[in-house]
Structure 1
């Protein structure tokens, strides 16, 4: 199992656009087999820091999910919005 947390902070004016872009790829993810991956998105109390939590049964599924066109477009637009180095990727190891 692959478990990942990605966090980043966007400019306040980009928040509505980022939320809309997230909704687009989450809708597309619904067309995939939900039993082989999980993807959740949260916004921290500051209203501008987003946290994406995902887990995949293997690298093949991770690659498939992360290459959905709407997800690639979300990433592109997010990165172009000016993250000021705030993007952080963490891989989690299960203890069970």
Structure 2
């Protein structure tokens, strides 16, 4: 099992667009095998910091999920919005 947490902070002006882009890829994820992965997105109390939690049964599933076109577009737009070095990816080890 692969478990990942991604956090990043966007500008207040980009929050609404980021939420729209997230909804798009989450909708597209529904067409994939839901038993092979889990993907959840949260926004922190500050209103501008997003947390994505995902887990995948293996690397092949992870690759499939992360290469959905709407997800790739979300990443592109998010990165272009100006994250100011806030983007952090953490791979979690199961105990």
Report if TM-score (shorter chain) is over 0.5: yes
What residue in structure 2 maps to residue 88 of structure 1?
88
TM norm structure 2: 1.00
Runs of at least 5 residues in structure 1 that lack an aligned partner in the other structure:
none
Offset at residue 10 of structure 1 (A): 0.0
Could you say what the CA RMSD is over the residues aligned between the two structures, in angstroms? 0.2
- Which ranges of 4 or more aligned residues in structure 1 deviate by more than 3 Å? none
* SS of the residue 1:34 aligns to: coil
Question: Any idea what the Cα deviations from partners look like across 1:11-33, whole Å, max 9, x if unmatched?
Answer: 00000000000000000000001
Runs of at least 5 residues in structure 2 that lack an aligned partner in the other structure:
none
Question: Any idea what the Cα deviations from partners look like across 1:31-86, whole Å, max 9, x if unmatched?
Answer: 00100000000000000000000000000000000000000000000000000000
Separation in 2, partners of 1:34, 1:64: 12
* SS of the residue 2:64 aligns to: helix
Count of residue pairs brought into register by the alignment: 95
Separation in 2, partners of 1:82, 1:6: 16
Separation in 2, partners of 1:55, 1:71: 16
TM norm structure 1: 0.99
